[in-house]
A and B are shown apart, each in its own frame.
Chain A
Amino acid sequence: MSLVQDIVTYIEANSALVSDVDLFVGAETVDTPSGSVIVREFMGSTENWSGLQDRAIQILAMDLGYVNAEMLINTVYDLLKHKPGFASDDLVDILYVDVLGMPGYVDRDQSGNFVFSCNLIFRKK
């Protein structure tokens, strides 16, 4: 499966978030509820001659409450940051998860949700 899908599976298994309910792959849906997390890959991923990949992953958390949104992003961030691999059947071949951008408030979306974003680099073989 794709890396993004694997990450979502891992988050689902290690938190209270549920895939396709409040945890989404790729983008927000039309009726994305408050209290949701979105995982997606953005441009900038690279692969060198040895096959080492740097995958650029963005985590978005949105909630109508500022504090809730912040808690949500930090929950996922703590689950993934600075991990030298994962004890998971889904998320394999991860060498390290580097932090490109710490969780930070970005703006409010069209539904009024407070949106927090953090960016991670998954170093993968």
Chain B
Amino acid sequence: MIKIKTDTRLFDTGMIKMATAAVQGTKQGMTQAMRRFKSDALNKPPSCPVKTGWLAAHHVTTVEVMGKRVRGELTVIDTPYAASLHEGISRWGTPYVYTKPGSGMKWIQSKVLMYRDKYTQDEVAGFVTGLKSVSFGRFAKGFGALGQVVSGAGAGAGAGIIGIGAVIGLGALSIAEGLIGNQQSQGNK
């Protein structure tokens, strides 16, 4: 009789490490994506309207981890007129005139549509970097190959990228919603 005993404890530990590293890597990638998103919103046409500089100075990005989800937000704070300016409607008694060349309405939402692929790439880069950084102890050689597959153009990597792309897409949409929601509450005060 042949008895085969398998000890998966190290494998389990490795998988936990990998899951943690993936979230941390994604968080870093999201931070980079949000930095780029904010820069695009402020500088690329249609860029953020500037008169006194208050509006542009009050764009704030945050990245938070909720379980295995990473969420990024770009919010405009303490600026009650931001929502109407962003939506391009003239406010009570004060029709808007965009004085800065290249600036205009939808300076945030338009970037979600125009540059979402770049933001997704930042995200994926962070995710892959996170996985590559994982050390698997004495299984290092065996799992090292997994890192290579993920960073290459393998099917595994492809699936990962598609999954993250969907999450980012939703995150990016909620970014603009966050701004509007915030300004609604500001305006209602």
Contacts and interface: CB of A to CB of B under 8 A. Distances in A.
A100 B89 contact: no
A117 B181 CA distance: 12
Given A42-B106, A44-B106, A101-B180, A107 B113 contact: no
A63 interface: no
A107 B89 contact: yes
B87 A117 contact: yes
Interface string A1-44: 00000000000000000000000000000000000000000111
A23 B113 CA distance: 26
Nearest to B108: A44
Contacts, number: 83
A81 to B, nearest CB: 14
Interface in A79-125: 100-102, 104-110, 112, 115, 117, 119, 121
Given A101-B176, A104-B180, A109 B113 contact: no
Nearest to B114: A44
Contacts of B159: none
B184 interface: yes
B38 interface: no
Contacts of B46: 43
Contacts of A110: 90-95
A56 interface: yes
B121 to A, nearest CB: 16
A102 B111 CA distance: 18
A102 B87 CA distance: 13
Size bracket, chain B contacts = 20 to 34
A109 B87 contact: no
A56 B95 contact: no
Contacts of B177: 101-102, 104
B83 A106 contact: yes
Contacts of A119: 109
B173 interface: yes
Contact of A121 (B95, B113, B183, B184): B113
A107 B89 CA distance: 8
B180 A56 contact: no
B42 interface: no
Given A107-B187, A119-B109, A121-B113, A58 B87 contact: yes
Interface of B: 45-46, 81, 83-84, 87-95, 104-106, 109-114, 173, 176-177, 180-181, 183-184, 187
Interface of A: 42-46, 54, 56, 58, 60, 100-102, 104-110, 112, 115, 117, 119, 121
Given A43-B46, A100-B176, A107-B81, 20 more contacts: A42-B88, A42-B105, A43-B45, A43-B114, A44-B106, A46-B113, A56-B106, A58-B106, A101-B177, A102-B177, A104-B177, A104-B181, A106-B83, A106-B180, A107-B89, A107-B91, A107-B92, A109-B91, A110-B90, A110-B95
